[in-house]
Amino acid sequence: MDLQRVLSLVRKACDDYEMINEGDKIAIGISGGKDSLTLLYALSHLRRFYPKHFEVVAVTVDLGFNNLDLSKIKELCESLNVTYHIEKTDIYDVVFNVRKESNPCSLCAKMRKGALNDAMKKIGCNKIAYAHHKDDVIDTMLLSLIYEGRFHTFSPVTYLDRTDLTVIRPLIYMNESDVLGFVNKYDVPVVKSPCPVDKKTKREFVKEIVKDINKETPGVRNRMFAAIKDSNIKGWNNSGESI
């Protein structure tokens, strides 16, 4: 997928759900993975012609693995004229050594989001862009259905009233395959996650289920997404969800 097509899908998502307002300063959470770097490319280019003027800042929460090389991401941010902020933490030590969590993902995610929100407030951002794509929307819905017994997923726009921050998800119209195509076409410098439980989660289990079903019955993934858009889940009727 080329950049023009990525920008078209991202702009449609931003317009449909009013993700961007005049004067926004948007932090992009950069993990180093393919999704967040695609979002970095998209928003850094979109700001050049979008009718509402906004700034973007890239933010990485360093979990403290001590083997994460961010030099290529720094170079990419410089080439895109995006300020890059690295928030140092000891999350890895707390989760794996102090707490010795048997299921570390939940605590890690909670601490990482807290550190990211703190970093955003320090640098004066009012919004944060997460790189969740269409497959993430569907996978989250199935996780909720299977493990919680409810039809639910995250919203395109979510206002966090405790922190006075707004989360936006501009990649929701992109398939994961679109993202893969983009990073391969443009040789995006993806950084492999050093996390010892990477790719061993319930989300990966559900992802494989959806992949198998879609292989047997082509179009299932798109029908699931359409069902979410037409549902009564908060935020999918073009209004943000407050939590």
Domain range annotation of the chain: 3-137+153-197
* pLDDT at residue 76 greater than cutoff 50: yes
Q: Write down the pLDDT at residue 238.
A: 62
- Provide the pLDDT for residue 240: 47
Cα–Cα distances (Å) from 8 to 4, 68, 184, 204, in that order, read 6, 32, 19, 28
Range of lowest pLDDT (5-19, 86-100, 119-133): 86-100
The CA-atom distances, in angstroms, between 107 and each of 29, 103, 111, 127, 130 are: 18, 8, 6, 23, 18
Count the neighbouring beta carbons within 10 Å of the beta carbon of residue 136.
21
Mean pLDDT computed over 142-148? 93
pLDDT of the residue at 96: 83
**What is the C-alpha to C-alpha distance for residues 116 and 16, in angstroms, rounded to an integer?**
26
Q: How confident is the model at residue 199 (pLDDT cuts 50, 70, 90)?
A: low
Beta sheet of 83-88, edge-to-edge order: 83-88, 54-62, 24-29, 127-129, 165-168, 157-160, 241-242
Q: Which residue has the higher pLDDT, 51 or 237?
A: 51
Q: What is residue 243's predicted lDDT score, i.e. its pLDDT?
A: 45
Nearest residue to 37 (alpha-carbon basis) of 166, 141, 193, 167 = 193
20 contact partners, CB below 8 Å, separation of at least 6: 14, 26, 50, 52, 54, 127, 168
Q: Is the pLDDT of residue 142 over 90?
A: yes
- Does position 140 have pLDDT exceeding 90, yes or no? yes
Residue range 24-43: mean pLDDT, rounded: 95
The CATH T-level fold of domain 3-137+153-197 is: Rossmann fold (3.40.50)
Average pLDDT over residues 89-112: 83
Region 22-43: what's the mean pLDDT?
Answer: 96
Is the pLDDT assigned to residue 242 strictly greater than 60?
A: no
Stretch 10-33: mean pLDDT: 96
Average pLDDT estimate for 20-35: 95
Tens digit of each residue's pLDDT (9 = 90 or more) over 168-195: 999 999 999 999 999 999 999 998 877 7
